[in-house]
Amino acid sequence: MILERLRLYNFRCYEETEIEPDSRFNVVIGLNGQGKTSILEAIGLVAFLRSFRGAKNGEMVRLGQTEGLVSAMVRNGDLRAQHSVKLWPTRKQATINGKSCRYLSEYVGKMSAVSFSPTDLEIIRGSPENRRLWIDKLCQIFDPTHADIVARYQKILEQRNRLLRSLSEGGVKRPPADLEIWTDELINWGARIIHNRIHSVDKSVDTISKYYNEISRENTRINVRYLSENFDEVTCGQAPLISLELIAQLLRKRFESSQQKEMILGTTAVGPHRDDIEITMGGNLVRAFGSQGEVRSLVLALRLTEVEVYRTFQKLNPILLIDDFSSELDARRRKFLLDYLLLSESQVFLSTTEELTIGKVFVVKDGKIFAPELNENGHVTDRCQ
Ligand SMILES: Nc1ncnc2c1ncn2[C@@H]1O[C@H](COP(=O)(O)OP(=O)(O)O)[C@@H](O)[C@H]1O
Ligand SMILES: [Mg+2]
């Protein structure tokens, strides 16, 4: 998977710009606040349809403008396609070769990328939502239709919450027939989400352990548990026992017992939108006991696991987006990642404040991008051009 051309219009600090990347290494250099992350974020946006730093649509549109656009020419083998995302403050529209896609999976399944960003620490340290986003991304790599299932669930959840809110405000005591219809739908789609999550974790945990131990040069067992109020915690290795039917049955039980409470609260109290995963290292909860170094190695291992799943399950080399390479990682992890990148067959985009002497260099300055000539030592001769 190769990004051959990237165009930005009114995206972040860029008014209008275009770059033609190298098919292997691309280094984006600049001082802080010059627009490095924005380039990687734009590439991530066309791949994931969201900002890897968790930004809202409106934050990505250039200040003072009403709409922005990111457009990418992507090659997969012999096939080329133009992937575009148009942004407005409250919505976005994705197209492939000018046509909008009916299902999210048609879009996110066609451009594969993995991002490595300082905000990844939130996967461990942050709220459960960060972990749900990570696990859903992993599920999506195994099966792109997971994105459609999550979108469908979210829509049903919103509708059901709207109904519950009106019941709560009206003081209604007896559940109306519509509530049952929405509950059935929520169980149907929610069970599929949970099923995919449990099985994706199960298939990945050995790879996470393998990478963690390679990075940290340790021999520690990483374990992952799926946490849900709907059933006792599921430890990896138990997944074969947990069928879709069983999950649906357990969810139904929970919905039955919490319906009265939900009608009073005016919101949906159970379901995969409240679940979490718990990661332990040698039996200890990493979120609570992990050192900064351990957490950094673990998130790197989580991202490298995504890459491996793309390779083994989709037979694809995803585009790798590495943000803030110089300041985020310490020397040892930097060396590990650089060695990994040199051996990988992926196209790489790496942002850094320090010069690196690999690949094609893009210098960013004041919302403009320059692709300077390098001197014989591989250094940028004139940063400002
Ligand atoms: N929506 C926006 N419109 C205009 N400028 C923006 C917008 N969002 C961020 N910026 C500015 O873009 C600049 C580049 O940000 P960023 O890509 O994060 O820089 P870097 O990664 O090089 O530190 C910053 O100075 C920031 O203030
Ligand atoms: Mg940055």
In a domain, residue 342? The reply is yes
Is 216's C-beta closer than 6 angstroms to any atom of ligand 1?
no
Q: Name the domain boundary from 271, 291, 314.
A: 314
Going by C-alpha positions, the residue among 364, 382, 311 that lies closest to residue 142 is: 311
Q: State which ligand 1 atom lies nearest to the alpha carbon of 34.
A: 22
Per the model's pLDDT, the better-predicted residue between 379 and 333 turns out to be 333
Substitution site in 8, 10, 11, 13 for ligand 1 pocket (most atoms within 8 Å of beta carbon):
13
| 342 and 253 in a common domain | no
* 90 CB within 6 A, ligand 1: no
Number of domains in the chain: 2
Q: What is the reported pLDDT for 384?
A: 46
Residue 207 has, within 13 A of its CA and on its CB side, a CA count of: 19
Indicate whether 48 and 60 sit together in one domain: yes
What range does the domain containing 95 cover?
A: 1-112+316-385
Task: Supply the mean pLDDT for the chain.
Answer: 93
**Residue 357 CA to ligand 1 centre (angstroms):** 25
Q: Let me know if residue 196 belongs to a domain.
A: yes
| Structural domain includes residue 127 | yes
Apex 144 CA angle, 286 and 3, nearest 5? 90
Residue 72 resides in a domain: yes
> Using CA positions, which residue lies closest to atom 26 of ligand 1?
33
130 and 65 assigned to the same domain:
no
Residue ending a domain, choose from 314, 345, 369: 314
> What is the tens place of the pLDDT at every residue in 276-317?
999 999 999 999 999 999 999 999 999 999 999 999 999 999
Distance 36 CA to ligand 2 centre (A): 6
Strand runs labelled E in the chain: 2-11, 14-19, 25-29, 68-76, 79-88, 91-96, 99-100, 113-116, 222-228, 231-235, 276-281, 284-285, 319-322, 348-352, 360-365, 368-370
Beta strands in 150-256 (DSSP E): 222-228, 231-235
Is residue 359 one of the residues assigned to a domain?
yes
CATH of the domain at 76: 3.40.50.300
What is the rounded CA–CA span in Å between residue 348 and residue 325? 12
CATH number for the domain harbouring residue 178: 1.20.1050.90
- Over residues 62-70, the mean pLDDT reads 97
Whole-model pTM: value is: 0.94
Please give the share of the chain, as a percent, with pLDDT higher than 70. 97
State the closest ligand 1 atom to the C-alpha of 61, by its place in the atom list counted from 1.
Answer: 1
Instruction: Name the H helices within 266-357.
Output: 286-289, 292-314, 325-328, 331-343
Quick one: 356 and 336 in the same domain? yes
The finding on whether 97 has its CB within 6 A of some atom of ligand 1 is: no
Pair (309, 321) in one structural domain: no
Does a structural domain hold residue 117?
no
175 in the same domain as 289 = yes
Cα(68) to centroid(ligand 1), Å: 14
Please check whether residue 79 lies inside any domain of the structure. yes
**Does the CB atom of residue 12 touch ligand 1 within 6 A?**
yes
Among candidate residues 281, 360, 306, 295, the one with its CA nearest the CA of residue 333? 295
Count CB-CB contacts under 10 A for residue 382. Answer: 10
Residues with CB under 5 Å of ion ligand 2 are: 37
Identify whether residues 263 and 326 lie together within a single domain: no
Split at pLDDT 50, 70, 90, the class of 240 is confident
Same domain, residue pair 201 and 304: yes
What confidence tens digit (pLDDT) does each residue in 82-119 have?
A: 999 999 999 999 999 999 988 999 998 899 999 999 99
Residue 355 has pLDDT above 60, yes or no: yes
pLDDT given for residue 235 in this prediction: 79
Count CA atoms closer than 13 A to 210's CA, side-chain side: 9
Q: Determine whether the shortest distance from the Cβ of 13 to ligand 1 is under 6 A.
A: yes
pLDDT tens digits, one per residue of 154-182: 999 999 999 999 999 998 888 899 999 99
At 181, give phi and psi (nearest 5°): -65, -45
User: Based on the domain organization, do 140 and 165 belong to the same domain?
Assistant: yes
| 381 has a pLDDT exceeding 70 | no
Name which residue leads in pLDDT, 327 or 322: 322
How remote is the CA of residue 13 from the centroid of ligand 1, in Å?
A: 5
Q: Is the pLDDT of residue 8 over 70?
A: yes
Q: Is 373 exposed, middle or buried (0-12, 13-18, 19+ CB in 10 A)?
A: exposed
102 and 150 share one domain = no
Residue 155 is predicted with a pLDDT of: 97
- Please give the pLDDT value at position 358: 86
Instruction: Judge if 37 and 2 occupy the same domain.
Output: yes
Inter-axis angle of helices 292-314 and 331-343, to 10 degrees? 10
Specify the pLDDT at position 385. 41
Identify the pLDDT of residue 382. Answer: 55
Same domain (yes/no): 286, 375: no
Residue 354 CA to ligand 2 center (angstroms) comes to 13
What spacing in Å lies between the alpha carbon of 35 and ligand 1's midpoint?
5
Residues 180-234 pLDDT 10s: 999 999 999 999 999 999 999 999 999 999 999 999 999 999 999 999 887 777 7
Q: pLDDT band for position 357 (50/70/90)?
A: confident
What is the torsional sign of CA 62, 63, 65, 66?
positive
- Residues in CB range of 285: below 8 A, 6 or more apart: 278, 279
Tell me which of 292, 314, 336 is where a domain ends. Answer: 314
Distance 126 CA to ligand 2 centre (A): 20
Is residue 302 domain-resident? Answer: yes
Residue that the structure tokens 């739908």 belong to:
185
